[in-house]
Chains A and B, each alone.
Chain A
């Protein structure tokens, strides 16, 4: 066993962190969040330049061919800096469908541009009423001419507004929650009949509602086998789940460091508040949550590359349970121990709270994954 990051991974981590420390400090981030687009093209270009967009993709498309542990290195750094760019949506979701299930033609057409920062992607899947049920798809795709016509509505589409290309799930067969009959389609953002409205998320990430009304696509827009989309979706969503777990580790690390620093510097009753034993024990529990979160995320990142489907589901759910709990525990305690200051927009700690709160609830909350874990095996 070896728990150390490799030399290459350390280098990757340092490169990203060096960039984020200057290009993505708290003030820079605030400006990006407040900008009309809600993300920065310059930052995106820099991520492409550093090779960060290439990490999980194969070298035949200009990728780095990295493992999920390599991705953990990236996600942790993005989590610590609370990066709001559409990285997860593009690299962790949209691009994954192409890399895993796309035809060679699709891969050749999309992945090089994605890696170079020219193409952003999003996954338009969740529908009203679906909650965490991945098989709940009522959007319809009807065969028409040599292609399909898509009709339906998607919500909470991560960075749907920024995407050039959307991966859209739609039913070619079966009832609203049947496992079979879901097909994946590649739809350009500017397709006729497709409208996107955006909201700023609790965590300042953009989320969109996507309405498809009579959107026509060709047969070459189908990703993977017709009607066989669900297993692909499950695989990609599990992967993205592990990535947000890794991101949470970074955000929790920040919350830990900032709170520890606050306990050492904030003085009340003539002493640093960290001298109060009641708070020392609370800080220790934050540390334990952080270490446990890092362990389970590491385990999940390793196993998702090697395990079979059953093991993958178990480990991903295990990770998400622990991460959701740790995210809740650490974010709440960090705010509490900062007192009134923890409640304000002025400190990064409240923004970290917001991101951790959303991560806890993304891709299945702890209850959802408890049920899935218990049902596996």
Chain B
């Protein structure tokens, strides 16, 4: 066993670091590090730079643009990106839709969609959840009725992240309402969001940001060629995808960066003649999160290594990473807000002329926003149910 990077891995890290330093626009980095909202163009701009370099989808097969990196290299890459303040690669195309197409898509579907995902030509979003189908996803009701070469889709999706940026949406739809086993009547459809009959409505979250939406489908005609895998086999596809989705939700590298940020903020905050970082209560709290994160980093690498050896899609173990990873993210945002103490109170300027500390306000905004992390991508309660059943056999 050896937990150190090899000389080759160190060289790789330096290469990535240098490239990012030269390629990441300063204004974008500033936005990321100061928690300001990224526009669609910000996200796609960075995506395209990576695509040009050949690094946007490292884990895809090489013939589609993958890099053939080892698990450790991928991890190094991710860590360098987060540390430097790169925008996230929006997961819905590269990390979700693409693995599904690679595994279940027809040659035509691959040819049509994968290069556009790679180049950032299409912005993909995820249409799984419905008002009545959250944790119980299999109870979804959005209907797709076959009509010649088309499906006609009617229903509603909710919580669609960045749906207002979306060019395409992959959806779980019900193609057969008569099956006794609900999962068997579900299919996986790719839908062009410019199709007539689609309406996107914003949902404002408690931090007052707009990132999720309701998407309504009113007799939307979708070519049958956009069905992925067989009709009625959508659940298999969905489950395959969820493993990939959850793998990304631990955000360990991000938490490492943010932990450093908490320390910086605490070291700048004066209390009782010293700094908040010297305050034993606060310091112990940071330390506990830090050591939890150290352990999780290794847990993550161990699981990734097992995954590589087994050459299989991620299983129940990613649920552990999701649970601990999101708990750590939340603990960090909570401490960050606490560094602001009473100054966390002002949130939005009322007078246009007011000198207003938007950075401090963004700390509270993030604390509120990150409450989502234990809810989305399968709530942490559902993750625990999965582990209890699949891993422990309870």
Query: Which one, A156, A345, A367, contacts B345 given CB within 8 A?
Result: A156
A279 touches B381 (CB 8 A): yes
B342 touches A361 (CB 8 A): yes
Q: How many angstroms from the CA of A344 to the CA of B380 in the assembled complex?
A: 19
The yes or no answer to A148 lying at the interface (CB within 8 A) is: no
A268 touches B375 (CB 8 A): no
B375 touches A342 (CB 8 A): yes
Within 8 A of A (CB), among B340-393: 340-351, 353-356, 361, 364, 367-368, 371-372, 374-376, 379-381, 384-385
A200 touches B350 (CB 8 A): yes
Q: A131-B341, A344-B204 are in contact. Are A197 and B139 (CB under 8 A)?
A: no
Looking at B271, B341, B342, B347, the one whose CB has the most chain A CB atoms below 10 A away is B342
B342 touches A132 (CB 8 A): yes
Question: Binding site of B, secondary structure by majority: helix, strand, loop or mixed?
Answer: mixed
B344 touches A202 (CB 8 A): yes
Per-residue CB proximity of A144-171 to B under 8 Å, as 1/0? 0000000000011000010000000000
Interface residues on B, range: 35 or more
Q: How many angstroms from the CA of A199 to the CA of B354 in the assembled complex?
A: 8
Tally the A-B contacts, defined by beta carbons under 8 Å: 146
B residues in contact with A209, CB < 8 Å: 354-355
A residues in contact with B281, CB < 8 Å: 367, 370-371
B residues in contact with A371, CB < 8 Å: 272, 281
A residues in contact with B384, CB < 8 Å: 278
| Complex: chain A residue closest to B371, CB-CB | A335
The yes or no answer to A198 lying at the interface (CB within 8 A) is: yes
Q: A268-B135, A336-B371, A343-B205 are in contact. Are A197 and B351 (CB under 8 A)?
A: yes
Within 8 A of B (CB), among A337-352: 339-340, 342-346, 350-351
Query: Which one, A38, A273, A358, contacts B344 given CB within 8 A?
Result: A358
Q: A332-B371, A335-B371 are in contact. Are A199 and B348 (CB under 8 A)?
A: yes
| Complex: chain B residue closest to A177, CB-CB | B273
B338 touches A365 (CB 8 A): yes
Q: A202-B347, A344-B205, A354-B206 are in contact. Are A197 and B354 (CB under 8 A)?
A: yes
Tell me how far the C-beta of A118 lies from the nearest C-beta in chain B, rounded to whole angstroms: 24
A residues in contact with B270, CB < 8 Å: 129, 131
The yes or no answer to B65 lying at the interface (CB within 8 A) is: no
Q: How many angstroms from the CA of A156 to the CA of B342 in the assembled complex?
A: 7
Tell me how far the C-beta of A267 lies from the nearest C-beta in chain B, rounded to whole angstroms: 8
A residues in contact with B337, CB < 8 Å: 357, 361
Q: How many angstroms from the CA of A362 to the CA of B379 in the assembled complex?
A: 31
Q: A268-B134, A361-B341, A365-B341 are in contact. Are A201 and B346 (CB under 8 A)?
A: yes
The yes or no answer to B175 lying at the interface (CB within 8 A) is: no
B residues in contact with A313, CB < 8 Å: none
Q: A340-B129, A344-B206, A361-B341 are in contact. Are A278 and B381 (CB under 8 A)?
A: yes
A residues neighboring B (CB under 8 Å): 38, 126, 128-129, 131-133, 155-156, 161, 197-203, 205-207, 209, 267-270, 273, 276, 278-279, 328, 332, 335-336, 339-340, 342-346, 350-351, 353-354, 357-358, 361-363, 365, 367, 370-371
A-B contact pairs, 5 of them (CB 8 A): A197-B351, A345-B204, A350-B368, A367-B338, A371-B281
Q: List 15 additional contacts besides A198-B354, A202-B368; criterion CB under 8 Å.
A: A126-B342, A131-B342, A197-B353, A198-B350, A200-B346, A202-B346, A335-B371, A336-B374, A336-B380, A343-B205, A343-B375, A344-B205, A350-B368, A351-B206, A362-B345
